[in-house]
Amino acid sequence: MSRDLRLRAIFDQAAAFYQDARPDYPAVLYSDLLAVTGVAPAAHLLEVGCGPGKATLPLARMGFRITAVELGDALAAEARHRLAGFAGVSVITSSFEDWEPPAGAHFDLLYAATAWKWVDPKAKYAKAAALLARGGHLAVWNADHAFPAGFDLFFAEIQEMRRRLAARSDGTLTRHWSAVLTAGRRL
């Protein structure tokens, strides 16, 4: 497995902080997604890499049935906790590549919010195509950082530290990243 695909497991180490540390996706993203795909709340959605449910929760609130697949045990537990009130939502702990859907399962929309890059490129499109219902849609999006003129260099320095710690992959990330998040909240 490539270095990038090994790094995808690191997010699970910070599961308790992930939901609060990342900004929500804008409401217009969801309205555009529904307008472009034409899916409505009766549709069955498949989310790849749901994390703690950042993108799952707004769609669950709209009444969609959602099967969410999450690689990390801790992230999947966070998602289950946050989505407990939605009977039509289930969270499966597995990689997308290894997940075996129920026989005959097809989805109207398969989506990945900032997670598609972590799925093995040799498997992701073929598996997605096999799981989509006739006329179904694949939607992927990412959250990237934008730096306005005069932005605070502290953010860039923290990102560099995060990259170095992640490269070590020896458990140090959780201790240091937790300290950074705590310090950042006090600023």
Q: What is the CATH classification number for the domain harbouring 49? A: 3.40.50.150
Calpha distance 184→155 (Å, rounded): 10
Structural domain of 78 = 3-141
Name all contacts of 121-130 with Cβ < 8 Å and 24+ positions apart.
Answer: 123/96, 123/97, 124/48, 124/96, 124/97, 127/96, 127/97, 128/48
16: in domain: yes
> Does the global pTM surpass 0.95?
no
Whether residues 20 and 58 fall in one domain: yes
146 pLDDT above the threshold of 50 = yes
**DSSP assignment letter at 14:** G
Nearest to 66 by CA among 77, 75, 74, 55: 55
Q: Where are the beta strands (DSSP E) in 6-50?
A: 44-48
159: in domain: yes
The total number of structural domains in the chain stands at 2
**pLDDT category of residue 186 using cuts at 50, 70 and 90:** very low
Nearest to 47 by CA among 102, 100, 114: 114
141 pLDDT above the threshold of 60 = yes
Nearest to 133 by CA among 102, 115, 110, 112: 110
**DSSP assignment letter at 85:** T
Tokens of 18: 């992930």
Whether residues 107 and 174 fall in one domain: no
120: in domain: yes
Whether residues 70 and 39 fall in one domain: yes
pLDDT digits (tens, 9 = 90+) for 17-31: 767 777 889 999 999
Q: Reduced to 3 states, what is the DSSP secondary structure of residue 132?
A: strand
pLDDT digits (tens, 9 = 90+) for 149-167: 777 777 667 776 766 666 5
Average pLDDT, the chain: 83
10 Å Cβ neighbour count for 165? Answer: 18
pLDDT score of 39? 98
Whether residues 119 and 167 fall in one domain: no
pLDDT score of 23? 81
pLDDT score of 81? 94
